[in-house]
Amino acid sequence: MKKHFLAIPYMVIVFAATLSLAGCKDGKPSDLLPKSYSFDLEKSLSFDLQKAPALGQITLSDVKLSIDMDSALAANGLSSFTVSKVQTRSVAVNTETPGANLDAFDSLALFVTASNLPEARIAYKYGIPNDIKSLDMDVDDVNIAEYLKEKPTNLKIKATLGDSIKQDMTLNANIIFKIDVSRK
């Protein structure tokens, strides 16, 4: 009788292990994930801005945005998935340049550009108050997955200046992208 009681826990463990791997292809845990999945990817960029006496709408800077989607998928255990949608979840902008602030800016906007695709705005902020060194931008509901296929993708910052930029400064942008993926 004692041997039967010892066999029951062993059988339960074997059954549970078999059941957990039953839906897996090649026994990989990523196969237990649903047919579609989302995760966040964070990128930090810097824009170097020169003194600018001009007022009105100007393009301040272009930077290269490089996201290796294959590496991002692998890092999240999603190599068997393909990217279906990329959207901007949040953008935080700041300057750490001593003596600089965002006073010159009435508005800021971030755009992605790629060959053979129209420029797409991904974030913006209008009515920027004085005496601030950082701000959270509003984001646009636009899928930029096709833009990110071009390596690197260009990210452009445009502004409306209500005052001149009085000194050289660096703007830092912390961007969080929401990546939607589905099984290949």
Q: Is it the case that residue 19 has pLDDT exceeding 70?
A: no
3-state secondary structure of 2: helix
pLDDT score recorded for residue 144: 95
Q: Are residues 64 and 18 in the same domain?
A: no
Q: Is it the case that residue 33 has pLDDT exceeding 80?
A: no
Q: Are residues 107 and 148 in the same domain?
A: yes
pLDDT in tens, 125-179: 999 999 999 999 999 999 999 999 888 888 999 999 999 888 999 999 999 999 9
Q: Is it the case that residue 68 has pLDDT exceeding 90?
A: no
Q: Are residues 98 and 14 in the same domain?
A: no
Which amino acid would we find at residue 31? D
| Other Cβ atoms closer than 10 A to 120 | 16
Distance CA 20, CA 40 (A): 27
Distances (CA, A) of 14 to 9, 22, 98: 9, 12, 63
Q: Are residues 115 and 78 in the same domain?
A: yes
Q: Is it the case that residue 13 has pLDDT exceeding 60?
A: no
pLDDT score recorded for residue 53: 78
Mean pLDDT for the stretch of residues 79-86: 92
Q: Are residues 27 and 78 in the same domain?
A: no
Which amino acid would we find at residue 141? D
Q: What is the mean pLDDT of the chain?
A: 84
Percent of the chain predicted with pLDDT > 90? 51
Q: Is it the case that residue 105 has pLDDT exceeding 50?
A: yes
pLDDT in tens, 116-127: 899 999 999 999
Q: Are residues 28 and 61 in the same domain?
A: no
Query: Which secondary-structure segment (H or E) carries 138?
Result: strand 134-139
Q: Are residues 18 and 54 in the same domain?
A: no
Q: Are residues 55 and 142 in the same domain?
A: yes
User: Residue 67's pLDDT band (boundaries 50, 70, 90)?
Assistant: confident
Q: Which domain holds residue 119?
A: 36-183
pLDDT score recorded for residue 103: 92
Question: Phi and psi of 123, rounded to 5°?
Answer: -160, 155
> Quick one: tokens of 134?
């950082």
Q: Are residues 71 and 18 in the same domain?
A: no
Q: How many domains does the chain have?
A: 2
Distance CA 66, CA 150 (A): 9
